Structure 1
Amino acid sequence: MIHQLYPQVFHNYRYELNKDMHIAAAHFIPHEKAGKCANMHGHIYTVNITVAGDELDDAGFLVNFQELKKLIHGKLDHSLMNEHQDWFNDKNSNDFPTSEVIARKIYETVQAYLDTLPNKPTCLQVFVRETPTSYVVYRPKAGER
């Protein structure tokens, strides 16, 4: 069971939903400055997705937890992240599978899904913990949605 406190996002929405998941995956950072991380290695990532909105859907959900898990855990768990070429590549540092980029790609995927929902919830932040002592929070800048 995950017991984690996450940075709070202050907002004016009625509802806030948080989905936690663990993702066991390998990656390597294709750059000489990555040091040991240039070698393939694995993590058990802790991911938290924060979604907010004012309206529930016809089933009474802001967003179905299962859909978020399918989108992210279903794609990344037990995989080599570098092989997800729709998210990552070894040419552009903005697309290397670093924790920062992983958090942004999760955000982009979740928000694209949320944009298809009639109640139009929004992803406020994505938290990705790579190790017990290192984590990243991705939040879109105001007006970027």
Structure 2
Amino acid sequence: MLHQTYPQVSHPYRYELNKDFHFAAAHYVPSEEAGKCRRMHGHTYFANVTVAGDELDSSGFLVNFSLIKKLIHDRFDHTVLNEDEESFGDERPERFPTTEVVARTICELVQEHLDGTSNKPVCVQVFLRETPTSYCVYRPLRKGGGERG
């Protein structure tokens, strides 16, 4: 993978981990305003997931790099995103598999896993490149007390 510089996210944590990976998937955006994107088409998505926290787990990891890739790559690679009815849908815009919604979904899936770990790190940012010239950055809203999640 080529070296990529990503937007930085400010957070109060001691550790920050970034995992790059890619996956190939098809989708369509079920909206009149989507233009050509209303038709089924595919992308090789390039993602960067940023996880932060103060404590390491019993293996000395904030989170294992391979786990982040497995959570997303195994679920979305070589799929039609619209067919993942748990994550996406054709009825409401907030569930259409746009780059923005896919980035948010990646964050939510990673955070769901992190919530079950002993050291409780947080997913603070997902950078998702859909094409060489188009990408989205998703950062979850901060909860009370300065924590993210």
Partner in structure 2 of residue 45 of structure 1: 45
Partner in structure 2 of residue 99 of structure 1: 99
Counterpart residue identity of residue 96, structure 2: F
Task: Give the Cα separation in 2 of the matches to 1:134 and 1:69.
Answer: 21
CA-to-aligned-CA distance 1:46-75 (integer Å, 9 cap, x gap): 100000011110111100111111110010
Note if contact 1:32-1:38 (Cα within 8 Å) is conserved in structure 2.
yes
Normalised TM-score (structure 2): 0.95
Q: Which runs of 4+ in 1 moved over 4 A?
A: none
CA-to-aligned-CA distance 1:73-127 (integer Å, 9 cap, x gap): 0100111000000000000100000000000011111111000000010000001
Partner in structure 1 of residue 8 of structure 2: 8
Partner in structure 2 of residue 35 of structure 1: 35
Q: Does 1:56 align with 2:40?
A: no
Q: What are the ranges of 5 or more consecutive residues in structure 2 without an aligned counterpart?
A: none
Q: Does 1:22 align with 2:22?
A: yes
SS at match of 2:113: helix
Counterpart residue identity of residue 33, structure 2: K
Alignment of structure 1 residues 74-85 onto 2, 5 Å: 74-85=74-85
Among the aligned pairs, what percent are the same residue?
Answer: 61
Task: Give the Cα separation in 1 of the matches to 2:92 and 2:2.
Answer: 33
Partner in structure 2 of residue 117 of structure 1: 117
Task: Give the Cα separation in 2 of the matches to 1:130 and 1:21.
Answer: 13
Q: What are the ranges of 5 or more consecutive residues in structure 1 without an aligned counterpart?
A: none
Deviation at 1:2, TM superposition (A): 3.0
How many residue pairs get aligned? The number is: 145
SS at match of 2:2: coil
RMSD of the TM alignment (CA)? 0.9
Task: Give the Cα separation in 1 of the matches to 2:92 and 2:36.
Answer: 19
Normalised TM-score (structure 1): 0.97
